[in-house]
């Protein structure tokens, strides 16, 4: 289906476009739309909540919350063990494999119970404060429940029905935001906030399971060791990769909290939260392209390369202005979102913007390995990153606190990006370096630098931060598309 046909379908039957899969391009557009709506709503609500959490509770109390959340996140991979992306990949390729879902759901439940047990035991070794330990237990239950929704979402993604995932995500965000604000304005404490998160996840899970059972696939549990063994054989490399990936993404916060730098942990994670919101578009695009890439891997190398090129071009178009513009406007952004007590976050925010940019650029490479059945190689990549990250954190955090942690993350991700490029070139049919990719990056860089000089001028810089961002985006887009039209690629 070409673009003209997609437009005709939208005009003639918009409901069909939004709720049916009519072709590859339309399906990607539909899924991206729904994921964008969901991520836009959920991230906005959660960021809005976190801003008030940071302001009402202060950096130290917020630091306790983020330290506990970072610690339980170290264990989150055990509740999934790499199953979700494998379920999406396998179900997208062969629909008849959906019959294994009850056994996989049972496995996820058992993994979640085991993960909660590990978190409870680990809490006695990471902190001596009973308050923080209690928060860890509550958030551990929250993470476990969230893990159960992940495999449901993997099923939706395999069928390329991201609208269902979007509705579920919005529901959960609404509940957690409502419960969070109720707690903040009536019973403000870190423990009560953690309970609000757990309550929201529990209510959302009940609704999701009911919808899934009656509208998508009848739910029941089955103990099938042969299915478990088969999927573990495929997922364990992703699980180990996830473990080491979580180590290099969460060790900094855990280490700062362990060293007693609770306030610095609050500053660091305040910067990280903004980065997470800025990365939304790239995540949406990746989720929409992943099942399509999985399908094309079996069908046609040419289609696979073209889809991957398109995916990467869109990613480059997004990441360049995000990093360059974010660095330029960092002081204004932190000042607008938080308050002067969070100004130490500015430099960390600028460093972490580079981190966010690298993470976005690695996504197409990671997906290329997974769809090419080379997920075992991700283990070695993330292991290398985890070893480097732990070593640098041990050296830099005691001396430079949150700035050392941010710099360590950048160095780690540069190593991971380099290794992923090598793996993709060697082990997949995809050619990551070609004229389309190089030209897109070159034009994006020219457009991004032009944008930087404009938004750094006092007249634009001192505008309301939203106006500065919009101005920068318009200038970047205008120059990019003019250059693209001139070069014609």
Q: Quote helix, strand, coil % in the chain, to nearest 5.
A: 90, 0, 10
Q: Which two tokens stand for residue 479?
A: 């120059």
Q: Is the pLDDT of residue 252 over 70?
A: yes
Q: Which residue has the higher pLDDT, 98 or 410?
A: 410
Residue 411, φ and ψ in degrees, nearest 5: -60, -40
Longest dimension (CA), the chain: 66
* Residues whose CB is less than 8 angstroms from the CB of residue 224 and which lie 6 or more positions away in sequence, other chains included: 100, 103, 106
**Closest residue by Cα to residue 307 from 324, 285, 323:** 285
Residue 352's pLDDT band, with cuts at 50, 70 and 90, is confident
357-385: average pLDDT: 82
Which of the residue ranges 15-29, 80-94, 176-190 would you say has the lowest mean pLDDT?
15-29
Residue 76's pLDDT is: 76
Q: Which residue has the higher pLDDT, 169 or 68?
A: 68
Residue 445's pLDDT is: 92
Residue 479: inside a domain: no
Residue 306: inside a domain: yes
Are the beta carbons of 76 and 246 closer than 8 angstroms? yes
Residue 34's pLDDT is: 67
Count of Cβ atoms closer than 10 Å to residue 242 Cβ: 22
Q: Which two tokens stand for residue 362?
A: 């690695």
Q: Which two tokens stand for residue 139?
A: 């958030």
Report the distance separating Cα 178 and Cα 66, nearest Å: 20
Residue 247's pLDDT is: 67
For 263-292, the pLDDT digits (tens) are 888 788 778 777 776 676 677 677 667 777
Q: Is the pLDDT of residue 141 over 80?
A: yes
Count of Cβ atoms closer than 10 Å to residue 366 Cβ: 25
**Radius of gyration of the chain from its Cα atoms, rounded to whole angstroms:** 22
Q: What is the pTM of this model?
A: 0.62
Are the beta carbons of 319 and 466 closer than 8 angstroms? no
Residue 473: inside a domain: no
Count of Cβ atoms closer than 10 Å to residue 143 Cβ: 24
Q: How far is CA 98 from CA 80, 273, 352, in A?
A: 18, 36, 40
DSSP 176-206: HHHHHHHHHHHS--HHHHHHHHHHHHHHHHH
Q: How far is CA 198 from CA 145, 172, 194, 274, in A?
A: 8, 11, 6, 23
For 290-338, the pLDDT digits (tens) are 777 777 777 778 888 888 888 888 889 988 999 999 999 989 888 887 8
How far is Cα of residue 261 from the mean position of the Cα atoms in its chain? 26
Q: Is the pLDDT of residue 2 over 50?
A: no
Q: How far is CA 180 from CA 42, 148, 173, 280, in A?
A: 13, 22, 10, 22
Which of the residue ranges 163-167, 479-483, 484-488 would you say has the lowest mean pLDDT?
163-167
- Number of domains composing the chain: 1
Are the beta carbons of 370 and 85 closer than 8 angstroms? yes
39-59: average pLDDT: 75
Residue 439: inside a domain: no
Residue 488: inside a domain: no
Report the distance separating Cα 152 and Cα 211, nearest Å: 11
Residue 239: inside a domain: yes
Residue 442: inside a domain: no
Q: Which domain holds residue 390?
A: 3-433
């Amino acid at each position: 289906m070409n673009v003209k046909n997609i437009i005709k379908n939208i005009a003639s039957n918009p409901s069909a476009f939004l709720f049916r899969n009519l072709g590859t391009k339309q399906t990607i557009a539909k899924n991206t739309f729904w994921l964008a709506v969901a991520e836009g709503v959920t991230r906005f609500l959660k960021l809005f909540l976190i801003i008030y959490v940071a302001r009402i509770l202060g950096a130290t109390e917020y630091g306790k919350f983020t330290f506990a959340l970072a610690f339980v996140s170290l264990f989150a991979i055990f509740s999934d063990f790499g199953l979700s992306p494998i379920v999406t990949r396998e179900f997208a390729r062969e629909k008849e494999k959906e019959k294994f879902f009850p056994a996989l759901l049972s496995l996820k439940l058992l993994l979640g119970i085991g993960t909660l047990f590990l978190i409870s035991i680990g809490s006695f070794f990471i902190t001596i404060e009973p308050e923080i330990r209690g928060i860890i237990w509550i958030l551990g239950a929250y993470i476990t429940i969230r893990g159960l929704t992940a495999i449901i979402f993997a099923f939706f993604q395999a069928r390329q029905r991201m609208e269902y995932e979007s509705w579920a995500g919005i529901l959960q965000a609404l509940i957690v935001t409502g419960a969070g604000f109720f707690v903040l304005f009536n019973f403000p404490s870190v423990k009560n906030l953690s309970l609000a998160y757990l309550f929201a996840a529990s209510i959302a899970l009940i609704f999701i399971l009911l919808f899934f059972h009656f509208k998508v696939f009848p739910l029941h549990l089955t103990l099938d060791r042969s299915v478990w063994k088969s999927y573990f054989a495929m997922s364990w490399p992703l699980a180990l990769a996830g473990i080491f990936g979580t180590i290099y993404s969460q060790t900094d916060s855990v280490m700062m909290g362990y060293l007693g730098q609770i306030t610095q942990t609050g500053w660091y994670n305040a910067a990280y939260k903004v980065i997470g919101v800025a990365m939304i578009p790239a995540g949406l695009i990746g989720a929409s392209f992943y099942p399509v890439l999985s399908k094309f891997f079996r069908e046609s190398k040419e289609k696979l390369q073209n889809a991957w090129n398109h995916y990467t071009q869109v990613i480059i178009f997004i990441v360049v202005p995000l990093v360059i513009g974010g660095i330029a406007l960092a002081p204004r952004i932190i000042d607008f979102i938080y308050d002067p007590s969070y100004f130490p976050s500015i430099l960390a925010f600028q460093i972490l913007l580079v981190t966010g940019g690298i993470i976005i650029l690695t996504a197409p490479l990671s997906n290329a390995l997974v769809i090419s059945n080379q997920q075992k190689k991700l283990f070695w990549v993330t292991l290398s990153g985890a070893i480097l990250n732990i070593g640098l954190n041990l050296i830099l955090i005691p001396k430079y606190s949150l700035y050392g942690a941010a710099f360590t993350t950048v160095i780690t991700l540069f190593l991971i990006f380099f290794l992923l490029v090598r793996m993709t070139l060697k082990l997949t049919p995809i050619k990551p370096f070609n004229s389309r990719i190089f030209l897109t990056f070159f034009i994006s860089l020219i457009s991004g630098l032009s944008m930087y000089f404009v938004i750094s001028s006092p007249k634009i810089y001192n505008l309301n931060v939203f106006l500065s961002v919009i101005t920068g985006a318009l200038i970047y887009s205008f120059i990019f598309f003019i250059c693209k039209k001139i070069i014609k690629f």
